[in-house]
Structure 1
Amino acid sequence: MRWMEIDPNVGSVEESSELGSETLENSSSIGKGKVSEKGKRVGEYVTKVGDKRARCKYCSDSYAFDSSSSTTNMNKHIEKRCKKYQRVDPIQKVLVKQPTMSGFEITLGVSKFDQLRCRRVLAEMLILDELPFKFVENRGFQRFCFELCPLFDLPSRRTIVRDLYQLYIDEKIKLKEYFNRSKVRVCLTTDTWTSIQNINYMVVTAHFIDYDWPLQKRILSFSQIVDQKGDSIGKCIENVLLEWGIDKVFTITVDNATANTTAIGYEIRKLNSWQDDGAVLGGKYLHVRCCAHILNLIVSDGLKDLHDSIVAIRNALKYVKSSPSRLDRFKKAVAHEKIGTKGLVVLDVPTRWNSTYLMLESAVKLRKAFERMGEEDLHYVNYFRDDDQTEQKRIGPPNCDD
């Protein structure tokens, strides 16, 4: 996509507030009878102010206007007199910015405003930057877009949702056509988990090498499943393959669980029944166990010898992070001990050993602050005496040996 740099001095706060006023469009309010092509263009450059005045969106010059007046003076102003509207000769090339993989490059070319193209790029921005839908309705962003290009009609959040869904449909069609045309053999990865609402989810991701040899990754499915049994997982993968027209699979990487072994056996039978070469070597090496999951199991098993010490440190961190007042007291203890580190406590996720490592690493640097909490904070000491839910003593507080 190419676009031209717009003068950032165009418009003002007062002008941006008038964007909500009625815009001159190809209606009966412009002249009588059939509207000319020039009359249609006026609505892109002029905003109606009151009943008998119209104002240029670029330089704020105003003109007399009523239902019987001509649009000639407005068109002449845009074509010849307006000092802030940038007119481009179709033959003359101008400096334009062109996006690249590493940023932008300035080249010579002809710039042309495209409303649909701008809306598509806006939808892509929300995806790439993981922004909420309501971002397009923020006043600051609306003013920025008006200053950058007054011609751009900024969509609402409901409209941008429809644009995002249409973008997904377009990209899905392209990817399905690529799979059908290239007959590429893909590698799949899948994972299942249960949310805090006790809903089972499953994601299926395809990995493949395209014509230019870069490794590509595409999420094919993110959906709910009935349960996490092997048959359910296998049928879900089968439905994904049928939906995308994929009948050649190289490997399927899953967690090292019994249910996944059953699911892979199901997929081997289906792939071999669809095509003779649906699975390489009859699916002998189709099942790939996730090395990260295996490593997590190994580390978790090794941490069992240090279970009480880790739980004691985890409980101490839970106390500190449970309320702003407790965290404030802990910060004062850090300041009194003159600990040089700027980082604060990190609470781990027990199922992820690398987060447990980060928790222990931060706790070791702040151990003097925990010792001071044990000496000065009576609530901290009482926290480890009994658990309100289980009425049992919590493990901790951590000592020097921990």
Structure 2
Amino acid sequence: MGIGIHGETQEEIQRIEIQADPTYEPDDEAAAGGEAAAAAAVGGEAAAACGEEENPTKKKTRKTTSDVWKHFTRGPVQPNRSYYGICNYCGEKYLQGQQRGTSSMRNHIDKKCNKIPRNKPEALQKLLQAKSGKKNALVAWRFDQMKCRKSLAKMVIAHEYPFSCRVFCLVLDNASSNDACISELLYSTPMKDDLPVEGKIFHQRCGCHILNLIVHDGLSTMHNEIDCIRETMKWIKHSQGRIEKFKLACSQINVPYKKPQWDVPTRWNSTYLMLELALELKPAIMRYASLDKKFSKALSDSQWGILKELVKHLKVFYEATLKLSGTKYPTLNLFFSEFCEVYLTIKRMASNEYPFIVNMGTQMHAKFNKYWSMGNSLLAIACVLDPRCKLDVVQYYMEEMCPDECEHFISNIRECMSELYNEYVKAKTEEQGAYDLNQPGMSKRF
């Protein structure tokens, strides 16, 4: 084998000369070999260019899938392959790794972190206030709960504001333990000196609770019909087969299907809703009784008539309960007129043509009289202070309810309001424009 001038072998020189010939055409084997060599050369150059940066055995970093990472930043990985999750709001750190979950971080976001912005209307309430430097300019003002707490604490501690003297009354139910508690507060502590009219209107009964007691006494005379409806609802809802049969009964008489529901015995409003639903589903229940031969709680036509009359009278109590238990508006000024409407309804029940309604009205009337004298003065005063009512509404209802006692009741209301007004005048003697309600002409304001 010979050696060329520039170090090539004789075979390489011959190959170069052949390829230089314009008539040369390489066969398939030679072409494939050339392409493979070229690809190997390119691959070698790419590998050399990348160096050792690519390591096929190195594991990729696992992606975080939990939504809690929206509130956390992943810290650098430690030599033991652990890392810290850092809160984006307060900077709190939580150790993470292969054997650790995200429960601690989620608990931090849900309960512990005080700096995370939350969509709370009470914390983000916006008001308008005048902006200094510009005439008639208004800007949005954001309520800060923490600043308000600090200001209140400063008012109480530094300025000694007597917020403890702002107690007007306590609203409680009729438990005997509450009566003992009220007596302890009034006569064993100095609180009585700070209460309006020496605590005469301090203890108030819950109006909705009184309505509940009144209706429960009335419903006790109607337990047979109510028990039949309750057992009917339970019977139909006992199994899926009975529910399907009840749906069939509804479809046969073209009545929209509604899921049977029974009441909670301790809540009379649920009893009213159960009876109202039963009357609405009356045709379907009667049809179901003909389909299910084992059903034995079917009501007669006379019993259905009793329930219809009962629901009509209970509707007044139900609507009054809804109105007095509202949370989006003041309710104290509504109690007097609503209780008077309830009393007039009970009074009309006493002259009803159905004996069972008369009996129920008698039971309700006894319970109403038991609680009417407890706190009705404050309810009447709240009604008088309502500019839509004033003393005229109180006088109208008292003439309808008990005309013999109307004049005496109105006189007591005037006297109680005079005491309240004069107490406020005495406490604010330094303010101008205060008048004694006993002065001539002042009573006309009411």
TM-score normalised according to structure 2 size: 0.36
The structure carrying a bigger helix percent of its residues is 2
The structure carrying a bigger strand percent of its residues is 1
State which structure, 1 or 2, has the greater radius of gyration over its C-alpha atoms: 2
TM-score normalised according to structure 1 size: 0.40
